[in-house]
Amino acid sequence: MQDSLEALEEAYRLALDYRRGLAGRPCAPERSYDDMRAAFAAPLPASPSPAVEVIRELARTGEPGLMQMAHPRFFGWVLGGSHPAGVAADWLASAWGQNTGYHTSSPTAAAVEEVAAGWILEILDLPRAASVGFVTGATMGNFTGLAAARGEVLRRHGWDPDADGLFGAPPIHVHIGEDAHTSVFSALQYLGLGAGRVIRIATDGQGRMSARDLMREVRAREGPKVIIAQAGQINTGAFDPFAELVAIARGSGAWLHVDGAFGLWARASPGLKALTDGVEGADSWATDGHKWLQTPFDTGYAIVRDREAHERAMTTWASYLPARNEGERIPSSLVPELSRRARGLATWAMLKTLGREGVAEMVARHSAVARHMAGRLGAEDGVRVVNEVAINQVIVEFGAETESAGARRALTQEVIDRVVETGICFVGGATWRDKWVMRISVIAADTTVEDGDAAVDAMLDAWREARAAHPVGA
């Protein structure tokens, strides 16, 4: 036991060393996946090893293959920076070893989660009577919200999917924007609604759903309907016209679900909240804590207006489980898991640490950094910011507009590669409207304008080098 406790102390020391030196590290991993497979490859040990030595080996061997996702200049994907307060609470969650399936199995974990759920509704300004399930992330948040939707819209049409399944059920017409995130299609696949049988709704140049096209498609069909909107398109950051979509949903008896993995946090910022006007009228929402709230992975929230529909979709019961009293919140009745870690602790700790003002400041700061970066990049010849920077997302294409699409794609990828090689920041690529773009996601807790400038300097240097190596018309 003493050796095991020393392992905890060693992990603490190693973690502090890593985080203290994080800003000085290259953002990208030093070694590849193949390198790391070779480094860790070994036969299964036949005999025990001292736990403290195992932890040292894990850190020593593993650190060269780490992506520095908490780095202030990590812009590759929409991921938060795992704030130390959330990490510390998550350490306690692991050390306490609590299963937050039921309130009676861990009164502390269940109570903290319930309080944190109320805080989430307050800071996002969503209906205070809504239920909140603590899930692994937006994929499971979408799954949970859409599971509630599936059950409720079928019950409205005389079918009980909980008792009778989906065989023979009325078909559910799922309406979704052309530029929805892949996690929503995964959720539909898991739910048996099909990722390919959706009704795709036209979107504008920024990925916003067309309310007019949605109205036409909804009117063309009878039966159960679900509409899926998004707050924050993954490339452009655009927001759907929620007030119009809410009116269409209510007029047609459809359930409106919102994928708000990161964009829903705009509601925490007074200066950005207008981007989400009307979203509070939806029936369910999904968002992440490990994005803008900066909790460690994996934390997300499934929020449902109709608590009964939410619980009917998720409740697990067996005779050995504790009895439930009327009105009590059972954590496992709101998520697709019975056994799970105490995720609510990190959420509670981050909201307690940052408060309403801290979250608002961070969302506003990141959005200002994104606009600043876009302004500098767009002022350079041969560099085009492709999106309207609504929040924290910037997408950029490199190359003269007179050059072929293939040439611009090659130049953009070369700039990405050169930037990553510098280690100054990390960015990635994506396809948007048949263009290959560099995508910049500003969302790590500590990112400042100075970090944005350092990254833009590296991007412009890379672009100038790439342009010099491949002149127009060469």
User: pLDDT digits over 339-398, tens only?
Assistant: 889 999 999 999 999 999 999 999 999 999 999 999 999 999 999 999 999 999 999 999
pLDDT digits (tens, 9 = 90+) for 138-182: 999 999 999 999 999 999 999 999 889 999 999 999 999 999 999
Question: How far apart are alpha carbons 205 and 447 in whole angstroms?
Answer: 29
Q: Given phi > 0 = left and psi -120 to 50 = alpha, else beta, which region is 127?
A: beta
Residue-level pLDDT at 294: 95
- pLDDT over 70 percentage in the chain: 99
DSSP string, 340-364: ---THHHHHHHHHHHHHHHHHHHHH
Single-letter residue type at 304:
V
CB 293 within 8 A of CB 445: no
Question: How far apart are alpha carbons 16 and 294 in whole angstroms?
Answer: 17
Please state whether the predicted TM-score (pTM) of the whole model is above 0.75.
Answer: yes
Please name which of 448, 409, 454, 447 lies closest in space to residue 429, comparing C-alpha atoms.
Answer: 409
**If you average pLDDT over residues 210-217, what whole number do you get?**
98
Single-letter residue type at 164:
D
430 to 347, 383, 392, 407, 433: CA distances (angstroms): 30, 16, 16, 16, 10
pLDDT band at 473 (very low <50, low <70, confident <90, very high): low
Please name which of 118, 391, 122, 126 lies closest in space to residue 279, comparing C-alpha atoms.
Answer: 126
Residue-level pLDDT at 102: 84
Please name which of 301, 340, 345 lies closest in space to residue 140, comparing C-alpha atoms.
Answer: 301
Question: How far apart are alpha carbons 384 and 390 in whole angstroms?
Answer: 16
**If you average pLDDT over residues 426-439, what whole number do you get?**
96
Residue-level pLDDT at 162: 87
